[in-house]
């Protein structure tokens, strides 16, 4: 019995790609290392796959450090195979096997389906195999998938990016945007719902520019509205949109489609118009704040999150103050904050006036302090509200000691909720209505049921799927919550670039 171990770094696109890598390896006869009982689990799998990210500066150090840690295992067991895929593989290519000659396979972002064949070829030829395609030939959704969750799933609606942000290396690694046909997307979503999935997140590098390939500027809003017609689909989310392409028809679709959740991730990057121009971000702070105003006018309870980069080349104290001002005005529920790091191959890497590390750190600390203050205040505003929580395993690290269960509210806030003595205990995938009793800095506490407050459990098909899976020998424990993963599902058969203007009735032009 050959085992595999897929180690994922980076964004949601990589997480979803790793589900496909797992599906490919299981189809080829490998078994998930994490799925074996402790006594039967070897220290290192027969195949170790690194699905890498190249966005942050330390991505290189992390990859080569991890590869170095595996070298003794490779020396001890020459049959061990090590593969490197994802954005770092697309970028470094042959450099990986030059720096780490014990690596067996290097594959890029456009050919993850080649992994089993490359492993076989490396084993047969007894030499490293490097295969990097320059463009996508078929959508990865055609590949078999081993999903991490029985009740929640990802669906890619597009891959690649047409923007030219000066700090970002992704377009050169993921390629130009390619859109799937609406009918194929909806078919995949319906197939997932038939398997018990109640929550789906739509994925795209710039998800709201969907439709650019077939010339429909409202294709994304139409797709959101079509999601509302899928019976049994409780929750729809999407990530990540781009402010420059975010239009009012999308806001309308979010507000008027009940299963599209009131949560929005809207990357700011900087609150300085001068810096935004240097970043080639084709919007300015006034437009950004205007989008948030229009979202909140139609969806008052929307929780908005963001990405912010501190210390972009040439950023002055005045520029940074602009970021602080926009953050304070935006009232983000949370923010992913990053210190700018040079990425070779990007225009920003060659810019003058790189900001000293000490200055970047000091500004970063101030931004974190402000956002923590805002997040806590926004969470305190939730106190007394009744929220609907989709229960999930692994979300609450202290659930065992606090006797709570955890999950996400409709606005994607993390909620830890108490279960009254003798009451029905929700399963992962079930929905629970509870009263928020305290807004903590990073989560909500909902203990109202202990004193007679709201506590209503609604079993779902997702909870049924999760419960059935725990009794099935086909699944194995995941790394997160000790729950079992669904069996491998086959890829969708008829995916690809649009050959004509889509005619899907609920979503077409």
The binding site consists of: 11, 53, 87, 161, 165, 168
Nearest residue to 148 (alpha-carbon basis) of 197, 214, 90: 197
d(CA 414, CA 257): 23
Chain position carrying tokens 């001890």? 76
DSSP line for 146-196: --S-SSEEEEESEE------TT--HHHHH-S-EE--HHHHHHHHHHHHHTT
Per DSSP, 301 falls in state T
Distance CA 129, CA 385 (A): 56
Specify the length of the chain in residues. Answer: 509
* CA separation for the pair 478, 392 (Å, rounded): 13
3-state secondary structure of 96: helix
Helices then strands, counting H and E runs in the chain, come out as 15, 21
Closest-CA residue to 460 (of 394, 389, 385, 386): 389
| Both tokens assigned to 486 | 């669904």
Burial 211-224 (b: 16+ CB within 10 A, else e): bbbbebeebbbbbb
Quick one: how far is CA 230 from the chain centroid? Answer: 22
> What DSSP string runs through 212-256?
TTTT-TTHHHHHHHHHTTSTT--EEEEE---GGG--HHHHHHHHH
| 33, 44, 50, 125, 262 from 128: Cα distances, Å | 23, 20, 15, 8, 48
For strands 158-159 and 105-107, give the pairing. unpaired
Residues 6+ apart with CB under 8 A from 190: 230
Q: CA-to-CA distance for 78 and 104, rounded, in angstroms?
A: 10
For the record, the structure tokens of 342 come out as 């040079």
Cite the annotated binding site for [4Fe-4S] cluster by residue number: 11, 53, 87, 161, 165, 168
Phi, psi torsion values for 432, nearest 5 degrees: -135, 135
d(CA 199, CA 236): 6
Please give the helix or strand (H or E) that residue 75 lies within, else none. Answer: helix 59-76
């Amino acid at each position: 019995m050959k085992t595999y171990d897929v180690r994922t770094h980076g964004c949601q696109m990589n997480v979803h790609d790793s589900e496909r890598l797992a599906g490919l390896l299981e189809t080829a006869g490998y078994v998930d290392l994490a799925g074996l009982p402790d006594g039967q689990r070897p220290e290192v799998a027969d195949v170790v796959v690194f699905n890498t990210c190249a966005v942050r500066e330390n991505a290189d150090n992390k990859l080569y450090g991890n590869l170095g840690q595996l070298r003794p295992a490779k020396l001890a067991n020459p049959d061990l195979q090590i593969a490197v895929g994802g954005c770092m593989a697309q970028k470094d290519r042959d450099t990986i096997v030059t720096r780490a000659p014990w690596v067996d396979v290097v594959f890029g972002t456009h050919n993850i389906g080649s992994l089993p064949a490359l492993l076989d070829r490396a084993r047969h030829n007894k030499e490293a195999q490097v295969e990097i395609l320059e463009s996508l030939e078929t959508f990865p959704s055609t590949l078999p998938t081993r999903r991490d969750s029985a009740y929640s799933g990802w669906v890619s609606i597009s891959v690649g990016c047409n923007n030219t942000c000066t700090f970002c290396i992704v377009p050169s690694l993921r390629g130009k945007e390619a859109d799937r046909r609406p009918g194929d997307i909806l078919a995949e979503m319906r197939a997932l719902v038939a398997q018990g999935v109640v929550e789906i997140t739509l994925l795209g590098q710039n998800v709201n520019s969907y439709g650019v390939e077939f010339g429909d500027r409202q294709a994304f809003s139409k797709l959101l509205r079509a999601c509302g017609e899928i019976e049994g689909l409780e929750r729809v989310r999407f990530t990540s949109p781009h402010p420059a392409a975010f239009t009012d028809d999308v806001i309308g679709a979010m507000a008027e489609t009940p299963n599209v959740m009131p949560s929005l991730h809207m990357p700011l990057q900087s609150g300085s118009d001068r810096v935004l121009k240097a970043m080639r971000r084709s919007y300015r702070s006034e437009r950004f704040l205007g989008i948030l105003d229009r979202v909140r006018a139609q969806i008052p309870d929307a929780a908005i999150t963001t990405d912010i980069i501190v210390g972009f080349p040439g950023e002055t104290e005045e520029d940074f103050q602009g970021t602080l001002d926009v953050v304070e005005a935006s009232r983000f529920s949370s923010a992913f904050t990053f210190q700018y790091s040079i990425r070779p191959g990007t225009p920003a890497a060659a810019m003058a006036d790189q900001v000293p590390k000490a200055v970047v750190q000091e500004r970063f600390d101030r931004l974190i302090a402000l956002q923590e203050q805002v997040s806590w205040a926004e969470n305190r505003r939730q106190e007394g509200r009744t929220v609907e929580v989709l229960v999930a395993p692994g979300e609450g690290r202290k659930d065992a000691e606090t006797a709570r269960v955890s999950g996400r509210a409709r606005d994607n806030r993390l909620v830890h909720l108490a279960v009254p003595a003798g009451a029905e205990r929700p399963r992962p995938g079930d929905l629970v209505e509870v009263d928020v009793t305290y807004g903590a800095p990073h989560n909500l506490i909902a203990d109202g049921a202990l004193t007679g407050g709201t506590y209503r459990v609604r079993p779902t098909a997702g909870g049924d799927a999760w419960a059935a899976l725990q009794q099935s020998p086909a699944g194995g424990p995941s790394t997160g919550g000790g729950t079992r993963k669904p069996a491998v599902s086959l890829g969708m058969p008829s995916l690809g670039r649009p050959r004509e203007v889509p005619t899907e009735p609920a979503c077409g032009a």
